[in-house]
């Protein structure tokens, strides 16, 4: 089989890269092992325009937000699903300092912030002492629905092989790469933490962290918003909520822990005034980076080998945008944003 691009991984990065290659008219094949939990599958799917204790805009959000909305709407239309829902975040202040920080930021730049007309609005469902603010517009991506529908489409088009990628069977050739029976002009790794373990990009400054999540049923809480107070309650379907997530930088494995479950359930009991029931608990390793910027582009020594990775917790907003940049770079020679271009680590990768 001769193709233009071999994609390794069908998470959010591989999904959008396959769409961009389809748009560009390039031939491609995706290799992805069917695994129950990966960083993309465990993600909440929330696009939040502000971040941190200082409540500042997330990096590039003014460009990313409109692009991401269009990308998800186009993907949903093509696949016959709805995968993007507008929402807002009800951000309960854990203390007076965070309350003051919110209102100071609101005075300076209110673009994504809202002051509620009635701070007692959620007293019937939640216990809180210091009020709340709102963040809007935000968006919820049905990431599981999108990944599943894309997978079915790729399988139907014979553009996906459900198997484990074996790096030892990848060979460089003069005009590209060879992998088993596949010859490709380029290979692009969209495989999350597997790139950190692999031969080609292990020297990049990945900063892997473990995230754990509970899925709970809260039948008496209307799914009208995302609720946040240290942890986040993100509505799913059928009265279920995604609860989390943790950010553990020191971990032994990717398995869920009883410590997280007990701690999170204790927080919910103190926060919620309505009953809940835990129905699932899972964990995954995020491919975060030390400088919190993605890795996009091609290896400085091996130009047939590329990467689209390192999106961290912002994958839902970053992946569509940088998948387009990478595809345009391959087809038109367009520049990749310097802050994301993997060639900023040319010296490290050339060792």
Within-domain flag for 49 = no
* Predicted local distance difference test score (pLDDT) of residue 41: 60
The sign of the torsion formed by the CA atoms of 224, 225, 231, 236 equals positive
221 and 278 fall within a common domain? yes
* Predicted local distance difference test score (pLDDT) of residue 115: 95
Within-domain flag for 298 = yes
Share of the chain above pLDDT 70, in %: 98
DSSP 8-35: E--SHHHHHHHHHHHHHT--EEEE----
Q: C-alpha 182: how far from its chain's center? A: 29
Contact between residue 18 and residue 150 where contact means Cβ atoms under 8 Å apart: yes
Distance, CA of 292 to CA of 340 (rounded, Å): 10
* Predicted local distance difference test score (pLDDT) of residue 209: 87
Domain that holds residue 91: 87-138+207-286
pLDDT mean over 250-270: 93
* Predicted local distance difference test score (pLDDT) of residue 253: 86
Specify the CATH number for the domain of residue 238.
3.30.9.10
The sign of the torsion formed by the CA atoms of 308, 10, 311, 135 equals positive
Within-domain flag for 19 = yes
CA dihedral 251, 252, 253, 259 (to 10 degrees): -60
Q: Nearest CA to 199 among 226, 164, 235, 172?
A: 172
pLDDT mean over 18-43: 86
Within-domain flag for 64 = no
* Predicted local distance difference test score (pLDDT) of residue 126: 97
pLDDT mean over 172-193: 96
User: Is 70 exceeded by the pLDDT of residue 40?
Assistant: no
Within-domain flag for 184 = yes
118 and 223 fall within a common domain? yes
337 and 214 fall within a common domain? no
| 150 class by beta-carbon count within 10 Å (0-12 exposed, 13-18 middle, 19+ buried) | buried
Within-domain flag for 71 = no
User: Is 90 exceeded by the pLDDT of residue 254?
Assistant: no
- Where does the pLDDT of residue 149 fall: very low under 50, low under 70, confident under 90, or very high at 90 and above? very high
- Evaluate the omega torsion of the peptide bond into residue 224 and state whether it is cis, within 30 degrees of 0: no
Tell me which of 269, 286, 303 is where a domain ends.
286
Looking at 31-45, 201-215, 279-293, which range is the least confident one? 31-45
- Where does the pLDDT of residue 250 fall: very low under 50, low under 70, confident under 90, or very high at 90 and above? confident
102 and 188 fall within a common domain? no
pLDDT mean over 129-157: 96
- Where does the pLDDT of residue 252 fall: very low under 50, low under 70, confident under 90, or very high at 90 and above? confident
Tell me which of 286, 310, 340 is where a domain ends.
286
What is the rounded average pLDDT for all residues in the chain? 94
47-93 pLDDT, tens per residue?
999 988 788 999 999 999 999 999 999 999 999 999 999 999 999 99
Within-domain flag for 235 = yes
Specify the CATH number for the domain of residue 340.
3.50.50.60
Phi, psi angle pair for 177, to nearest 5°: -135, 160
Residue in the block written with tokens 């088993």:
180
The whole-model pTM stands at 0.93
The sign of the torsion formed by the CA atoms of 174, 179, 181, 185 equals negative
* Predicted local distance difference test score (pLDDT) of residue 37: 59
Residue in the block written with tokens 């959008």:
16
Tell me which of 244, 259, 286 is where a domain ends.
286
Q: Nearest CA to 5 among 310, 22, 13, 256?
A: 22
Q: Residues in the chain, how many? A: 351
Looking at the 3D structure of the chain, how many domains does it have? 2
Within-domain flag for 165 = yes
Distance, CA of 52 to CA of 296 (rounded, Å): 24
| Cβ neighbours, 10 Å, residue 239 | 16
């Amino acid at each position: 089989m001769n193709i233009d691009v071999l994609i390794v991984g069908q998470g959010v990065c591989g999904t959008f890269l396959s769409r961009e290659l389809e748009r560009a008219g390039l031939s491609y094949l995706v290799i992805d092992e069917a695994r129950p939990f990966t960083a993309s599958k465990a993600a909440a799917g929330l696009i939040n325009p502000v971040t941190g204790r200082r409540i500042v805009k997330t990096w590039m959000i003014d460009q990313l937000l409109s692009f991401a909305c269009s990308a998800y709407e186009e993907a949903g239309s093509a696949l016959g699903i709805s995968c993007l829902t507008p929402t807002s975040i009800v951000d309960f202040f854990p203390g007076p300092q965070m309350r003051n920080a919110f209102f100071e930021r609101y005075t300076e730049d209110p673009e994504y912030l809202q002051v509620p007309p009635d701070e007692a609005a959620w007293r019937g469902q939640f216990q809180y002492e210091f009020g709340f603010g709102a963040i809007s517009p935000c968006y919820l991506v049905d990431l599981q629905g999108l990944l599943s529908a894309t997978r079915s489409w790729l399988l139907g088009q014979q553009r996906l092989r459900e198997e484990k990628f074996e790096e030892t069977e990848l060979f460089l050739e003069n005009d590209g790469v060879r992998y088993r029976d596949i010859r490709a002009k380029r290979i692009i790794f969209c495989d999350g933490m597997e790139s950190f373990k692999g031969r080609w990009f292990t020297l990049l400054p990945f900063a892997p962290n473990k995230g754990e999540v509970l899925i709970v049923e809260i039948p008496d809480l209307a799914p009208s918003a995302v609720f946040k107070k240290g942890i986040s309650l993100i509505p799913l379907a059928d009265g279920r909520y995604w609860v989390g997530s943790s950010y553990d930088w020191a971990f032994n494995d990717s398995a869920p822990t009883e410590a997280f479950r007990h701690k999170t359930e204790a927080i919910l009991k103190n926060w919620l005034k309505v009953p809940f029931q835990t129905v699932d608990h899972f964990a995954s390793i995020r491919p975060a980076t030390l400088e919190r910027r993605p890795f996009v582009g091609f290896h400085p020594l091996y130009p047939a080998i590329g990467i689209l990775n390192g999106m961290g917790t912002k994958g839902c907003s970053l992946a569509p945008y940088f998948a387009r940049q990478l595809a345009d770079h391959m087809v038109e020679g367009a520049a990749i944003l310097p802050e994301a271009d993997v060639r900023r680590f040319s010296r490290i990768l050339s060792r």
